[in-house]
Structure 1
Amino acid sequence: MEYVTNLPKEDPSVATTSVHGLSFTYPVQYYDFHVYYYARNPKSNNESNQLRDKLLKDFPEEAANGSILVKKLPDDRVIGPHITQFWEADVRRPEVFIKVLSWFQLHHGNLSVLIHPQTGDDVEDHTNRAFWLGDKLPLILDSFPPESDGGIPEFGVRGGARIKPEDFDSHKTVL
């Protein structure tokens, strides 16, 4: 995935620390929003691009400071467990999550959006712990790494380590 927004190199904690002292219920560490579209369908592709542009326009501060990490596919490939193209917004601060969630509820249009926590259990997070806006799409669940991995992808670090849920809060992100 290509990062459209990034964590600030000087101080990544700006994007990862709640200004109100809020936290998600353990073991939830952050949330992913997957916005699905069909790259070979011009209407769907255009709607997806416009929605991503609107998200960045409507949340300029959060996009600039990395509180909303937006990633997109570098090409029209499909990567599992997803059955079609998508772009993604990741949010670690609870106060930003609720704003982004309500924004997507109002603006997703014809696009399906999978919203799921990151707890270290990929299958549960993408299925039983997830919710959808728009049509629910099937997922290819056998594309996940072995369940024994149990780690959460490091927030905002391309190819970052997978961190145990219990170590996530004390982990220092270094860019």
Structure 2
Amino acid sequence: MSDPFAYEYPSPLEGYENLEPLSEEKNEDGKSLKNPQHGVLSKAYEEFPDPLSKGREGGFDIHIYYFQVGRTTAHPDATANADQNNPAQVTFARALWERIRREFPELRVYRFWDRPIGPHPVAMFEVNLFTPAQFGAFVSWLVINRGPLSALVHPNTVQSEDERNHTQRATWLGDRLPLDTSVFKK
């Protein structure tokens, strides 16, 4: 994981300065707070916020990992570089890959890799998301249907910040796997 203090962050309140203080009034549930209503949805419902890519590469990549049969993990931090001979995960991952291609034909789904590639320490397949609606639909679906597999969800930004996008800006479903970030320094 990268050092979060190695980056600068814009203020979350940029564009919302000098507004009236928010109310502490609670909703009917007695726990959540009432938010000011202005009748306009955030633009983030319609398009990814800057600096996320809105182009050909898509705003987000999702890498869905499985322990392949008869291979060793490539990353030195991975569990003792043990042979991850797991035919049940391969079968499940291949079925999930097929289901995603059938249920979400509008998404870009890449080949089914049977070995580590790039920074990814084990076999995987990748799905690209192009809109906030695709992100909301697919990620919520994947949370329920990913079974024993882990998934890395990372943004694609217009600036080439591959290491930051795969680490500091990334989120995980399931267990976090150690990425080989040395590939970003080449």
What range is the shorter-chain TM-score in? Answer: 0.5 to 0.7
Partner residue in 2 for 1:77 = 115
Partner residue in 1 for 2:50 = 26
Gaps of 5+ in 1: 1-19, 147-175
1:128 deviation in Å?
A: 0.9
Q: Which has the higher strand share?
A: 1
CA RMSD of aligned residues (A): 1.8
Is residue 107 of structure 1 aligned with residue 145 of structure 2? Answer: yes
Structure-1 separation of matches of 2:45 and 2:124: 32
Contact 2:65 2:123 in 1 (8 A): yes
Partner residue in 2 for 1:3 = none
1:72 deviation in Å?
A: 1.8
Partner residue in 1 for 2:65 = 36
Gaps of 5+ in 2: 1-43, 54-58, 70-85
Structure-2 separation of matches of 1:70 and 1:36: 14
Matches within 5 A, 1:25-64: 25-29=49-53, 30-40=59-69, 41-59=86-104, 63=105
1:34 deviation in Å?
A: 0.2
Q: Which has the larger radius of gyration?
A: 2
1:78 deviation in Å?
A: 1.5
Instruction: Give 3-state SS (helix, strand or coil) of 1:47's partner.
Output: helix
1:77 deviation in Å?
A: 3.0
Q: What is the TM-score normalised by the length of structure 2? A: 0.60
- Structure 1 stretches of 4+ with a deviation exceeding 4 A read none
Q: What is the TM-score normalised by the length of structure 1? A: 0.64
Deviations 1:17-49 (A, max 9, x none): xxx982111111110010001220210100101
